[in-house]
């Protein structure tokens, strides 16, 4: 029994050592700072780098595990850097303009970027910043003050702090802002029920700020994304007409959370953010997800389509804006759906067991 306990303790210690071995150290202004970096197992030449800035009080080792950054690095072929903020009395906190801190986090992040660029052969023309909550505030600050060093930014559930809003961005910056409308920690309108204070510009004011910086004009294109999961959320995407790309992902019903799973939610934040960084059309990608095939024919169709299922089910049809436009109970085997009343266009057909496919109506 004692031998088993000793072995278990050794295994646990080894596991902890492996975790702590990931943490690197960097001296900045006579302070030892920490970070984790992942690089892909396979690479060719200089590679892009993405910085992820954590939220208030967060430690980077459990954060790194939660987001699976090692696997994401291999999948993307990018370096991923997770730096640690210092403890400022109430926990780890970035100097993003919310306090009178004299800690130079901006300088630390730039110095770290410079050092890692040389050490790991990172591509200085493909530098991305994203972050959650306090990390979102800091992402906005980096974009405002050093957008000339950053290719694109994607703050999530973080605002522009009031002092930062008085600054003019050094250059236009490719920007995707992500925020939930039911966020009570960092409110969509800029206030916080939890902290009982206004933390920064509300999301609408943030979009006005970046529209001015990015030379935007006219009204945005609005896409309500398909509602394919029973997640209590609706994802609305705004694309602004700008000289430099500006987008908003507004999450109706969204809380102060980072939504991870594409199997559980209609949108997985990291997937959307990485697609944005790569310059992909994220709306088209979300409208055409990887689907568990559902057999529907003919396709394209003029109006009447057949659906084949193995057991009793409910078939739902969604239009390109994510609105359910048809629903019908079906029995095992082949059933017919009459979609002739619907206008031409792209539709998503889904059964309650998860089978999904796209159908084009054209006459």
Q: What is the SS3 assignment for 28?
A: strand
- 288 alpha carbon, distance to own chain's centre: 18
How many CB atoms lie under 10 A from the CB of residue 295? 12
pLDDT at residue 223 in the model: 86
pLDDT at residue 16 in the model: 38
From residue 331, give the alpha-carbon distance in Å to each of 307, 318, 325: 10, 20, 20
Residue 320 has pLDDT above 50, yes or no: yes
pLDDT at residue 191 in the model: 94
CATH class held by domain 292-361? mainly beta
- Give the span between the Cα atoms of 109 and 86, in whole angstroms: 12
**84-95 residue pLDDT tens:** 999 988 899 999
pLDDT at residue 14 in the model: 34
- Give the span between the Cα atoms of 125 and 135, in whole angstroms: 22
- Give the span between the Cα atoms of 251 and 26, in whole angstroms: 37
Structure tokens at 355: 């089978």
Biggest alpha carbon–alpha carbon distance for the chain: 77
**250-308 residue pLDDT tens:** 999 999 999 987 678 888 999 999 999 999 988 776 655 555 567 889 988 888 999 98
Q: Where do the structural domains in the chain lie, given as residue ranges?
A: 2-287, 292-361
Predicted structure pTM score: 0.77
Report whether 243 contacts 214 (CB < 8 A): yes
From residue 126, give the alpha-carbon distance in Å to each of 36, 44, 90, 153, 225: 19, 15, 34, 11, 28
The band of 225, judged by pLDDT with boundaries at 50, 70 and 90, is confident
**63-80 residue pLDDT tens:** 999 999 999 999 999 999
Average per-residue pLDDT for the chain: 88
Residue 132 has pLDDT above 70, yes or no: yes
- Lowest-pLDDT range of 14-18, 128-132, 175-179: 14-18
**242-252 residue pLDDT tens:** 999 999 999 99
pLDDT at residue 305 in the model: 92
Domain 2-287 architecture: 3-Layer(aba) Sandwich (3.40)
Sheet containing strand 174-180, edge to edge, reads 23-28, 31-38, 79-83, 47-53, 122-132, 152-156, 174-180, 246-252, 234-239, 221-224
Q: Is the dihedral of CA 281, 178, 93, 170 positive or negative?
A: positive
- Give the span between the Cα atoms of 258 and 261, in whole angstroms: 9
């Amino acid at each position: 029994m004692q031998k088993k306990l000793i072995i278990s303790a050794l295994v646990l210690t080894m596991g902890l050592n492996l975790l702590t071995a990931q943490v690197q150290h960097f001296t900045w202004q006579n302070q030892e700072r920490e970070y984790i970096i992942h690089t892909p197992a396979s690479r060719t030449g200089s590679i892009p780098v993405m910085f992820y800035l954590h939220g208030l009080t967060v430690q980077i080792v459990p954060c790194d595990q939660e987001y699976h950054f090692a696997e994401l690095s291999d999948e993307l072929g990018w370096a991923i850097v997770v730096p640690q903020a210092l403890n400022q009395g109430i926990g780890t906190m970035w100097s993003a303009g919310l306090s009178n801190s004299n800690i130079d986090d901006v300088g630390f992040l730039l110095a770290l970027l410079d050092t890692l660029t040389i050490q790991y052969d990172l591509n200085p023309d493909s530098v991305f910043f994203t972050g959650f909550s306090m990390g979102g505030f800091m992402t906005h600050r980096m974009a405002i003050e050093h957008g000339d060093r950053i290719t694109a930014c994607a703050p999530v559930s973080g605002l522009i702090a009031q002092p930062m809003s008085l600054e003019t961005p050094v250059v236009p910056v490719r920007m995707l802002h992500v925020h939930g409308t039911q966020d009570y920690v960092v409110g969509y309108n800029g206030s916080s029920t939890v902290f009982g204070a206004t933390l920064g510009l509300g999301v609408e004011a943030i979009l006005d700020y970046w529209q001015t910086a990015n030379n935007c004009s006219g009204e945005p294109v609005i896409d309500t994304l398909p509602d394919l999961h029973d997640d209590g959320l609706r994802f609305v995407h705004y694309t602004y007409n700008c000289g430099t790309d500006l987008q908003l992902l507004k999450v109706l019903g969204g809380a102060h959370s980072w939504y991870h799973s594409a199997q559980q939610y209609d949108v997985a934040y990291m997937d959307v953010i990485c697609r944005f960084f790569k310059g992909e059309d994220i709306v088209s990608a979300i409208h055409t997800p990887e689907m568990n095939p559902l057999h529907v024919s003919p396709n394209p169709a003029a109006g009447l389509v057949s659906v084949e299922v193995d057991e009793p089910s409910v078939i739902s049809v969604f239009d390109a804006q994510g609105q359910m436009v048809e629903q019908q109970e079906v029995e095992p085997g082949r059933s017919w759906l009459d979609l002739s009343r619907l206008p031409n266009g792209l539709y998503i057909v889904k059964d309650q067991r998860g089978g999904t496919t796209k159908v084009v109506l054209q006459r």
